[in-house]
A and B are shown apart, each in its own frame.
Chain A
Amino acid sequence: MKIDVKHVAKLANIPLKNDEVKKYENQLSQILEYIEKLTKVNTDNIKETSQTTGLENVTRDDVASPSLKQDEALSNTKSKHNSLFKVKAIFEE
């Protein structure tokens, strides 16, 4: 299995250097080749397992309760403005 590392890195928003692309291409292809062994397993009529202890539809009442204060939520950011997170513009004018 050949993997398009540049494309995947773009999807994952991971900046890569050129020499890294080659290295990851080799390593990830090797891992994918190993993973291919699952194609040998017959899984006809088998349901997927996403969790193992049998829980279903865990809900709670939709009631607001105290959470982090604004200054606590902002305490680790390097970029804020008027007590809000400041981010780069997404849309151009």
Chain B
Amino acid sequence: MKLNELTIKQAKERLKKKQFSSVDLTNACLEQIMKKNKNLNVFITVCESLALENAKKADKLISVGQDLPLLGIPIALKDLFSTKGIETSAGSNVLKGYIPPYDATVVVKLKQAGAVILGKTNLDAWAHGSSGENSDFGPTKNPWNTNFVPGGSSSGSAVSVATGMSMASTGTDTGGSIRLPASFTNTVGLKPTYGRVSRNGIIAMASSLDSIGHFTKTAEDSALFLQVTAGKDEFDATTPSVEVPDYTKDLEKGVKGLKIGIPKEYFIKGLDKNIKEEVKKAFRFYESQGAEIIDISLPNTEYAIATYYIIQPAEVSSNLARYDGIRFGQDRRAFGEEAKRRIMLGTFTLSVGYYDAYYKKAMKVRTLILRDFEEAFKKVDAIITPVSPTMPWKIGERVDDPLAMYLSDVFAAPINLAGLPGLSVPIGFIDGLPVGIQILGPHFSENLLFRIAHAYETAHKWYERTPNE
């Protein structure tokens, strides 16, 4: 097996035993980037010499017996995370050439944990999109079939892990931007509980929905990564003082006796039949392991996308108002098509005479959606649903139909409205393209999600499949 195709857990053990060095591991990732990036368009910026310098430092620490959670592990950052001295573009021409004077809190934590930063990954500009095609730097391609989208907005981060260009990568999930690309690329994607991970220094999209997560090959790696990024931050007032547990402690507990809810509203007519079959197979697996599968209802699900596409663009229009080209970046003429669309939609729904009918109404329906989940979690421990109603679509297929693109978030966005954690886990392939489920739980139940996912992935090991020849 190639070094860059190992999991973080495996790589850590072998680094410790000095079977190879962090420089070897980093070089293996950099070689993969050199080989594949031109075709797949995954990285906007690659920091080759800086990464090798930091890998050398990590090797020194390893040689003196230092043990840090991600020591010597090469990772990639979505180009929405501010990095001191490294260009941070948000995938937009507005910020092209912008060099942040500080690191995002998560970046500080990852550096302190010993991670080696390889570079910055491509994304839908400002994280606006479900396919990766809205990047001002060109679309990222799905490594399983380059005619297809890899999902967005964290498109480059997902593909980076799927292809072994990095061992993990960061993402943001405002309405599915981690879970959707994870399910389209055979990677594990975590959207933590709202506020679990600090948003400080990460370019804001919709502040009441933005969740900061990551991509890994396995749920176990996802737990190791969250152990580093989670926690209260004095620079983000929405990070509560909820204790950060040991995220790996429940992994081996299995699912026996757990009640898993299946919401009927997620098995609607628009759901691809093949996806439905694959998801049902996953239910049968959990049943065979002693979990109880229970039919539930989340009756307001059908209003989630309408609610989301009021609240999110409203907050987008407010957050993007700061880009005036005076202090940094280019002026507002440089905004791409989708950003302009969302800014105008949000400006409209917040404008005089329309605020009550749109924004206030949406905030009320949001309460009903949250209550649906609260009621459900009185009956079940966790909920499992498909991530996307369709398989990855062809590049270009939906670019002229924004509403069709928005509807691909139909199963993902309700979770952001409710602030819940969701873990996207691969469950196989249909016609050569990956498919996933999302495991959902109550606020701050990440441990339970890792446990449920771990039971599945140790039995199926989809992460051992790579799109690399």
Contacts and interface: CB of A to CB of B under 8 A. Distances in A.
A12 B347 contact: yes
A85 B327 CA distance: 7
A60 interface: yes
B439 interface: no
B247 interface: no
Contacts of B98: 76
B443 A12 contact: no
Closest 10 CB pairs of A and B: A52-B419, A48-B363, A76-B328, A72-B101, A43-B364, A58-B237, A12-B347, A49-B367, A49-B366, A46-B364
Nearest to A43: B364
12 contacts: A9-B344, A12-B317, A14-B335, A24-B344, A34-B305, A41-B364, A48-B366, A49-B367, A52-B417, A53-B443, A55-B237, A76-B98
A55 B364 contact: no
Interface residues of A, number: 46
A36 B357 CA distance: 9
Contacts of B208: 50-52
Contact of A8 (B307, B328, B348, B406): B348
B238 A14 contact: no
B309 interface: yes
Interface in A37-84: 37-39, 41, 43, 46-55, 58, 60, 68, 72-73, 75-77, 79
Contacts of A15: 332-333
A8 B342 CA distance: 11
Interface in A1-16: 3, 5, 8-9, 11-16
Contacts of B341: 24, 27-28
A3 B237 CA distance: 36
B354 to A, nearest CB: 9
Given A11-B351, A31-B406, A38 B365 contact: yes
Given A5-B344, A52-B419, A35 B309 contact: yes
A87 interface: yes
B238 A34 contact: no
